[in-house]
Structure 1
Amino acid sequence: MKKILGAVSLAALTAATAYAQSADTEDTIVVVGTRSEGRTALQTTAPVDVVDVSALENTGITELNAALAYTLPSFNFPSPSITDGTDHVRPATLRGLGPDQTLVLVNSRRRHASALVNLGGSVGRGSAAVDLNTIPTAAIGQVQVLRDGASAQYGSDAIAGVIDVQLREASEGGQVSATYGRYATDIPLTTGERTASDGETVNLSGWVGLPLGADGFLTLSAEYLDRAPTNRAGPDPRQQYPSLSGGGLDPREQTFDRINHRFGLADAEAFSFFANAGLPINATTELYGWAGYQTREGEAAGFYRRAQDSRNVLAIYPDGFLPLITTDIEDFSAVGGARGVIGGWDWDASLGYGRNELAYGVENSLNTSLGAASPTSFDAGSLIYDQITGNLDFVRSYDLDGFAGPLSVAFGAEYRLEGYEIKAGEEASYITGDPSKAGGSQVFPGFQPGNAVDEDRDSIGVYLDLEADVTDRLLLTGAVRAESYSDFGETVTGRVSARYELSESVALRGAISNGFRAPSLQQAYFTSTSTVFVGTPPTPVEVGTFPADSAVAAALGGEPLDAEELMNYSGGVVFTQGAFSLTVDAYAIDIDNRIVLSENLSGATVESLLQAAGVNGVTRARFFINGVETETRGVDIVATYGVDTDRYGDFNFTLGYNRNETEVTQAPSSEVLPGVTLFARREIARFEEGQPDDKLIGSVNWTRGAFGGVLRATRFGETVDPGSAADGSGDEVLDPKTIVDAEVSADVFEGLTVSFGANNLFDEYPDATSLDPNLAGTFSDIFPFSGFSPFGFSGRYVYGRIRYAW
């Protein structure tokens, strides 16, 4: 807590003398965190960030999550590698909490989640979150981010806050752009610096506004992305080929390319399309709707199998092989509705559907247990999540005697039907032929018929929301929400907040709320069986992931999942003076019953319990559990300033700072398995230290006539990649690093703009793993950088862009 208080003082002093985000923030009307019309981002009772689309477009970043990470200090988006499906759908976090603890809306309507549940050893392990990268930047008008618990207003998942993506609305005009970039970097390996030029990226995007009737609009947006993979692996020093029968090394050892792994960003190709429409049908009623579609193919590498590896079949791969995990993602969403006025009430009714499917494939691989007859490519099965959501909302303002402003009364209901499926892969992807050898496709065994799942649930929630300017200085709000889920029961949440103006320039604000997050269907029902090798010599063992309410999990002490529960306290100050604004907001978030994925449980007791539960062949097990309790404390500081000069042009300055600390105060234990750790020290440390302890973003946006430029510096605080040692001796500490991005642009003629820029201009890398004497070893040389690095480990990215607007 002393660190936080010190950081508040330092950053507040810095912000008072520096400059900040968007000079238009004071005048921007927000729709998240309030249901009253006309509130600006600085007039709400909780902090709201407004990110205009220009801040997302004027950068070489091609992913929405990544762009937000360099815009919002409390938002983080690491770049793990060799983490199976997480390489393709990377999780993002707000205020250091779980990726699934932030609610995502599109046009103020709930967005469906990804079908993927993150199982690898990355930030967000065990979560199933919304994939923001399915929304193309071209379709966006602005993004509003509420940094406060809001379950009482919006329902489940709004523990850390709410991200509302507002789609572009235009009945005329348009824009097309083409961006080309690649990484041009010198990789600081301990074996010698290696130069790389890879990750070639082509991005084509555009939007057009069309009239719809006399007063309506139809905005169409599309984007194409093609990104080649990056590789930051070091050389593999191990012996690659079996020793000769008479002794000695195979001559091929001398000519073998030691950069045989691939460690970096996955290959990706995506096409996205969005349509957004609004059509007034009379003086009081409007129809609206939007639809989006994305198809995205990805390819990421696993661990290289050497020629002499017991998992290799020499008849197929005499030189070894690099197995590849491929994904084919299809994402679709559509919402239609109507809104209007009746009897003095503003009403809004909508029905939406969203679906995300992730199909797994395995290429350049084999099923070792099938020997030389094994195929080399596999259909490994698929995951599907879909959601139907219906909303009905009413809002009305009442003038009350004694109140300085009207009382806003809002109430409504939301119905949600969710479904989750796991489809089995082809037989060769999971079958075990020779039981003495590893079964299933190497790097990613396919889902078995026994893993197939088709489950659903429904829920209904009702809410009441009140807001009023009680006096000229005092704004009070209150909200209560009741929800009922078909699988785990009912919950009631509430929130009260206030804003008090001490003067025209200074206001205080604060909120107290409780909240919840329902267990996702992915967490409740995901199941898989895979082969891992343990011991020396390596011995194949079967590990099963079982649903929390299954007989297997119950035998091991598991229970059906319950909702996570939250208490959130926040308080802050708002200062405005002309074009300068400063907000400082502290928060305390206590969460009980956090849902996590257990360790891989093993031992004689586990094996006997598995056999008693009728599970044959599987000797290790894991499942999702409640029971982790955490306390998060932090502060957000945002300052903005805009200045226009006749001689030097117009400047918008931004400074944003976040300091965040999380402590695990309780970890789950099992009465059935005394002495067996359900949630080990490594997983606890990922909660507490796996994200930067602070983050500072300073930027300036400059325009003068036909010329413009953006300069941004982002300092990421200390981050820890936890090791497995109980005493922490294997932890990898990543020192603070500052990343500088720059872009310059010029209007060639009316409508046509040319831009050039560099992200990570000075080619900064996280600390190399292999330089740490506690971690040095073969694989720390091969994989020299941590996937927990908050800015990745790809190095300098240079790009050029042509944009034409009309």
Structure 2
Amino acid sequence: MQKHVTQKTVLALAIASLFSGVSHAQEAVATDPAASTATVVVTGTRVANRTALDTAAPVDIISADTLKNVGSTEMNQALSMALPSLNFPKPAITDGTDTIRPATLRGMAPDQTLVLVNSKRRHASSLVNVNGSIGRGSAAVDMNTIPTAIVQSVEVLRDGAAAQYGSDAISGVVNLRLRTNRTGGEASVTYGLRETEYDLWNSAAPAGGTWTAPESRKRTDGETATVSLWKGLAWGEDGYVTIAAEYRDQKRTERSGYDMRQQYPLVGTAFDPRENTINRFNAWYGDPEMEQATLFANAGKNLGGGVKVYGWASYQDRQARSGGFFRPAQDARNILSIYPDGFLPIIAPTVTDYSATGGVTWTLGDWDMDASLGYGKNKMEYDIQNTLNRSIGPTSKTEFYAGGYSYDQLVANLTGVRSVPVGAFTSPLNVAVGMEARREGYQLFAGEPDSYRYGGVVLPNGTPAAPGAQVFPGFRPANEVDAHRNAIGAFVDLEANITPELLASVAVRGERYSDFGNSLAGKFSARYDFSKAFALRGAVQNGFRAPSPQQQNFTATSTNFINGVPFEITTFKPGDPVAVALGAKPLEAEKSVNASLGAVMRFDPFSITIDAYRIDIEERIILSENLTQANVRNYIASQGFIGVGGGRFFINGVDTTTKGVDVVVSWPMSLDGAGKLDFTVAGNFTDTKVTKTPVTAQLSSLPAPAPVLFDRLNVLSLEKGQPSSKISANVAWRLGQWGATFRATRYGKVLSPGTTPALDFWMDARTVVDLEGRFAVTPKLSLAVGADNVFDQYPETQPPALNTTGNTPFANYAPFGRSGRYLYVRANYGF
């Protein structure tokens, strides 16, 4: 508790300091969303003054106003609402993934999108997603560590760019451009909650039972308060220091089903009377409790003589609590003397994230030079609460420190850009060359002994009790890792207008990694303007994604439900002897080939862009099946792993082909005396096919049959686990002091796959409508009221065969979550 108080005090002092000396501050100027297509972009091109509709690849620009005028203050959620090509599902009961949720671009994996801040690589989170969610097996950047208040705009390159930016840029690039204000500022207070009702599956109690599930349930929860501000400060005559702070307090949402299971041991041959009085809504299935404080600063200054220094730094502390699966009183994993009514284990991570980047630009002859050095670190530690170590017995503690992991990244860049006149070309040839050196580190550290040890208790059926803290056994000393790797790369990027109509660019990049070898990527793109109203653009490239240190080194044991049956599953490192015996091999880089073709049509002010793409990936890195067959369990037990019911590991070997089309229609219009409308319709249509899976020959270490490393459930997760289409219509209206936003988003059908066709669960298409109204009380003060998911849409309720515990009435694959209607108010004050 003292830690929380201290952090709040520090943040409060920082916020107070921002308000000092603002009496002469100017009012902040809002960005005009309608002007976004004329905004100069820096992502996907190194040519100055290139606008969004003039590029050779599709680039979306999301303004600060777009990020501000939504109910959610999460960066990932705000981007998902603005971009049909970006999805942000919200899984629950998935351990650390409840706290750090990944986003996906064009239906690809979260770690196949590169995230930049001011065009510099952002560090990834230390979490690798290993449970039943979209993004299983990935370790992605946590964009929610960046407050929306510090962001001037977001540029999303919907095209592969490994040759330009390096590893991870297979599906595209997200570049967050920070504010550079010398004056002005804005404070914002947002408060919202969930006001909702959802249906339940009405199933029968066990024979002789009298309890009955209600048909529906009303909930008011998820209260969320966010206080944020940014302030621009002058640094000398032309320098700037822009500071942002944010504090967010989120209460949990709970969307559990009615647990129809028998909770207590029988009293003779009859049910315990408490069966009829216990609260059977016993799960935390929904958004977690979360409290986080964030500070971010961006600065720059001209030193004279063409030299400019720049830099930014960030810090975030996040405290979260989310639930595991409920253990009924009679569960063999319970101890009645500790929890006579059963228990719900709580996973309580603490995430600390910080970064600092500094650089200098200068002129060297005809070259514009840029050198920078950046460092970032993400650390995640776990406390497991309201639980026990069954193997210790009645003397077990109920709260454990389970250890955790961290990832850090040190990046140095040197880039030079110049223009070279070429007589045959219409424009000078823009030449960019550069190099990047990167050092990555991954640490995994053990928890306290009681969080993982086997205490010696044997269950009545003669089997050893599961060791460690229930729901999340602590990391063991044998799991500890302190690994590092180095990578160095160099690139050349050329771009020019060969004729007034033809723009062409080519890029080549080579990288060398200390742990797996070399990689070479190339890209050719072109654009031909037939007229001012019509242009074609396209690109062909190959790319790569290096295996992350998280995928190479993570190991842990956690509870997974497979077809309604709980298993303690251990994730083994690919180099672990157990994993090798089951078919693991050293990880190699993923390899991709991207092709795209698009059209740009402009009929001022109306514009349409249509871009088709194909992404082929070979040797995709995946997390294997949960291998739980008897021969695997027996082998794992023979290696000394007590109570483990299965294993899994990372492996190359999956090939996929993704095809799709992005369409964006933009139409700003004036309604004369009725104000101004900015109308946008956008859609993403994606289809992914798995064309190859890893095959393991019969292993000498195991009796037949050989384990199937990637079966139908994981194949279908890649192919059907995200919506095949997402279409949004956005209308922003302004008239004097009034403003409003209307947004309707249609999510296509999604499959929550099972291990057999009988267990497949399809969720039909749903349309989610959001509304917000705004009023400027004064030139500086504005108020807003809104509702996300106005009509309280939910995905279909899973039948009892897929929800055997009652804890999970909705599938984790639901693309817009399952929290229901969100009502909010917001006040903004500019100064």
TM-score range, shorter chain: over 0.9
Whether 2:87 is the aligned partner of 1:76: answer yes
TM-score, length basis structure 1: 0.94
SS in 2 for 1:222: strand
- CA displacement at 1:250 relative to structure 2: 1.7
Q: CA deviation at 1:542?
A: 6.0
List aligned pairs for 1:195-210, cutoff 5 A.
Answer: 195-210=218-233
* Contact 2:727–2:746, Cα closer than 8 Å, also in 1: yes
Distance 1:126 1:173 in 2: 43
Residue in structure 2 matching 1:298, options 309, 320, 327: 320
How has the CA–CA distance of structure 1 residues 742 and 780 changed in structure 2, closer, same or farther, with 3 Å as cutoff?
Answer: farther
Distance 2:58 2:803 in 1: 47
- 1:329 maps to what in 2? 351
Q: Is the 8 A contact 1:648 1:704 kept in 2?
A: yes
How far, CA to CA, are the matches of 2:652 and 2:511 in structure 1? 20
Partner of 1:135: 146
What is the CA-CA distance between 1:779 and the residue it aligns to? 2.7
Kindly provide the amino acid, as one letter, of the partner of residue 701 in structure 1.
A
Of 628, 650, 673, which aligns to 2:654? 628
- Given candidates 189, 200, 221, the residue that maps to 1:189 is 200
Partner of 2:811: 786
> Following the alignment from structure 2 to structure 1, what is the Cα–Cα distance between the partners of residues 638 and 697?
17
Q: Is residue 38 from structure 1 mapped to residue 49 from structure 2 by the alignment?
A: yes
Q: Displacement of 1:777 after TM fit?
A: 6.1
Counterpart Cα distance in 2 of 1:263 and 1:533: 14
For residue 552 of structure 1, report the CA deviation from its aligned partner: 2.6
Instruction: Work out the CA distance in 2 between the residues paired with 1:261 and 1:213.
Output: 56
Aligned letter for 1:219?
A: T
Question: Partners of 1:781 and 1:615 in 2: how far apart?
Answer: 30
* 8 Å CA contact retained: 1:556, 1:672: no
Q: In the alignment, is residue 496 of structure 1 matched against residue 519 of structure 2? A: no
- In the TM superposition, residue 578 of structure 1 has moved relative to its aligned partner by 1.1
Alignment of 1:12-51 (within 5 A): 22-51=33-62
How far does the alpha carbon of each residue in 1:129-156 deviate from its partner, in whole angstroms, 9 at most, with x for none?
A: 0001010001111000000010000000
Is structure 2 residue 745 aligned with structure 1 residue 714?
yes
The answer to whether structure 1 residue 432 and structure 2 residue 454 are counterparts is: yes
Structure 2 counterpart of 1:779, one-letter code: T
SS in 1 for 2:54: coil
- Counterpart CA distance in 2 for 1:454 and 1:714 is 44
**Which residue of the partner structure matches residue 639 of structure 1?**
665
Q: Secondary structure at the match of 1:547?
A: coil
Aligned with 1:24: secondary structure? helix
For the 8 Å contact 2:472–2:559, the answer to whether it is kept is: no
Offset, 1:483: 0.2
Larger deviation, residues 638-647 vs 168-177: 638-647
Equivalent-residue separation in structure 1 for 2:571 and 2:185 (angstroms): 49
TM-score, scaled to structure 2? 0.91
Q: Quick check: 1:749 aligned with 2:775?
A: no
1:183-582, aligned counterparts within 5 Å? 183-190=194-201, 191-244=214-267, 246-433=268-455, 434-435=457-458, 436-530=464-558, 543-582=569-608
Unaligned runs of 5+ in 2: 1-31, 202-213, 459-463, 700-704
Q: Secondary structure at the match of 1:26?
A: helix
**TM-fit CA distance, 1:396:** 0.1
| 2:827 alignment partner in structure 1 | 802
Per the alignment, do residues 612 and 462 of structure 1 end up closer, same or farther by CA in structure 2, a change over 3 Å counting?
Answer: farther
The answer to whether the Cα contact below 8 Å between 1:599 and 1:677 also exists between their aligned partners in 2 is yes
The residue matched to 1:383 in structure 2 has which SS?
strand
Q: CA offset at residue 622 of structure 1?
A: 1.5
In structure 2, distance between residues paired with 1:455 and 1:330: 20
1:152 is matched with 163
Q: 1:432 to 1:677 in 2, by over 3 A?
A: same
Name 1:17's counterpart in structure 2: none
Task: Tell me how many residue pairs correspond in the alignment.
Answer: 777
Can you list the C-alpha shifts for 1:691-730, whole angstroms capped at 9, x where unaligned? 00100010110110011000000000011100111xx221
Which of 127, 130, 141 matches 1:119? 130
* Worse-superposed segment, 506-515 or 641-650: 641-650
Q: Residues of 2 paired with 1:662 and 1:438: CA distance?
A: 39
Offset of residue 632 of structure 1: 0.3
How far, CA to CA, are the matches of 1:701 and 1:152 in structure 2?
A: 37
Give the corresponding residue for 1:67.
Answer: 78
Give the root-mean-square deviation of aligned CA atoms.
1.8
The answer to whether the 8 Å contact 2:326/2:807 transfers is: no
Q: For 1:621-660, what per-residue CA distance to the aligned partner results, in whole angstroms no more than 9, with x for missing partners? A: 2211000000000000011111223301111111110000
Residue 690 of structure 1, aligned match among 718, 721, 746: 721
Match of 1:704, as an amino acid?
Answer: L
Deviation at 1:778, TM superposition (A): 5.4
Residue deviations 1:417-441, cap 9 Å, x none? 0000000001111111115212110
Q: What secondary structure does 1:688 align onto? A: helix
Q: Name the structure 1 match of 2:20.
A: none
AA partner of residue 740 (structure 2) = G
Shift of 1:600: 2.6
Alignment-mate amino acid for residue 278 of structure 2:
F
Corresponding residue of 1:704: 735
Q: Structure 1, residues 476-522: CA drift from partner, whole Å, max 9, x if none?
A: 00000000000000011100000000111000000000000000000
Counterpart code for 1:645: L
- Distance apart, 1:25 and its partner CA: 2.8
For each residue in 1:244-283, what CA deviation from the matched residue of structure 2 results, as whole angstroms up to 9, or x when unmatched? Answer: 1x33122222211111112111111110110000010003
In structure 2, distance between residues paired with 1:130 and 1:371 = 40
Measured in 1, the distance between the counterparts of 2:404 and 2:149 equals: 29
Would the alpha carbon gap of residues 533 and 230 (structure 1) be closer, same or farther in structure 2, given more than 3 Å must change?
closer
Distance 2:562 2:666 in 1: 55
Percent identity over the alignment is: 50
Aligned residue for 1:123, secondary structure, equals coil
Q: Kindly state the Cα deviation for residue 602 of structure 1 after the two structures are TM-superposed.
A: 4.3
Q: What is the identity, as a one-letter code, of the residue corresponding to 1:159?
A: I
In structure 1, what is the Cα distance between the partners aligned to 2:540 and 2:359? 33
SS class of match (1:172): coil
Q: How far is 1:340 from its partner? A: 1.6
C-alpha distance 619-87 of structure 1, shift in aligned 2 (>3 A): closer
Deviations 1:646-705 (A, max 9, x none): 301111111110000000000001124464210010000000000001000101101100
Deviation at 1:549, TM superposition (A): 2.4
Q: Which residue of 1 aligns with 2:761?
A: 732
Deviations 1:205-224 (A, max 9, x none): 00000000110000000001
Partner of residue 610, structure 2: 584
Superposition deviation, residue 531 in structure 1 = 6.7
Rate the CA distance shift 1:374–1:607 in 2: closer, same or farther, 3 A: closer
Aligned residue for 2:10? none
Post-superposition Cα deviations, 1:96-146, rounded to whole Å, max 9, x if no partner, equal: 000000000000000000000001111010100000101000111100000
Question: Judging changes above 3 Å, is the alpha-carbon distance between structure 1 residues 79 and 543 closer, same or farther for their aligned structure 2 residues?
Answer: closer
> Which range moves more in the overlay, 230-239 or 544-553?
544-553
Residues 1:767 and 2:790 are matched in the alignment = no
| Alignment CA distance shift 1:777-1:465 (3 Å) | closer
- Specify the code of the residue in structure 2 equivalent to 1:679: F
**Counterpart residue identity of residue 315, structure 1:** S
Deviates more, 1:289-298 or 1:187-196: 187-196
Q: 1:604 to 1:149 in 2, by over 3 A?
A: same
Q: What residue number does 1:666 align with?
A: 692
